Amino acid sequence: MDMIHLQDPRPVYEQIAEYYEKLILSGVMPEDEQMPSVRQVAQQESVNPNTVQKAFAALERDGYIYTVRGRGSFVADVRHLQILREKKRDAIKEELRVRLQEARQAQVPKEEILAITEEIYREGGKHV
């Protein structure tokens, strides 16, 4: 699994954060395992340490890791995150159903809706 994809339109820090999210949620990186240092990741991926620090800050903000001053960053207990993620996904799907029903009632053609969906996925979720 590659950490950074140059063709990905998302910022590099988001790609790094997502890479570690997947490792953590899949159990590859278990609870309390120490994260690699910012410097290690920056050197490995040939990116600015500030970029890695931004990714780690996002991971900490979202509850995937925690920091022990003077010791580094460690994987958090993410079982509750998986439940929250599933609830959020369910809420989004329900909202999407409501919006699609509204689009249907407004007689937006199915082909147009599908084209918009394909565009969003092709662009990595960024609205152009």
Which segments of the chain does DSSP mark as H helices, in order?
12-25, 38-45, 49-61, 79-105, 110-122
Length reported for the chain: 128
Residues of the chain with pLDDT > 90, as a percent, come to 65
Q: Which residues contact 8 (CB under 8 A, 6 or more apart)?
A: 15, 124
Average pLDDT, the chain: 89
Predicted confidence (pLDDT) at residue 49 exceeds the cutoff of 70: yes
- State pLDDT tens for residues 1-36: 578 988 888 999 999 999 999 999 888 999 999 999
From CA 105, how far away is CA 72, in angstroms rounded? 54
pTM equals: 0.67
pLDDT at 99: 93
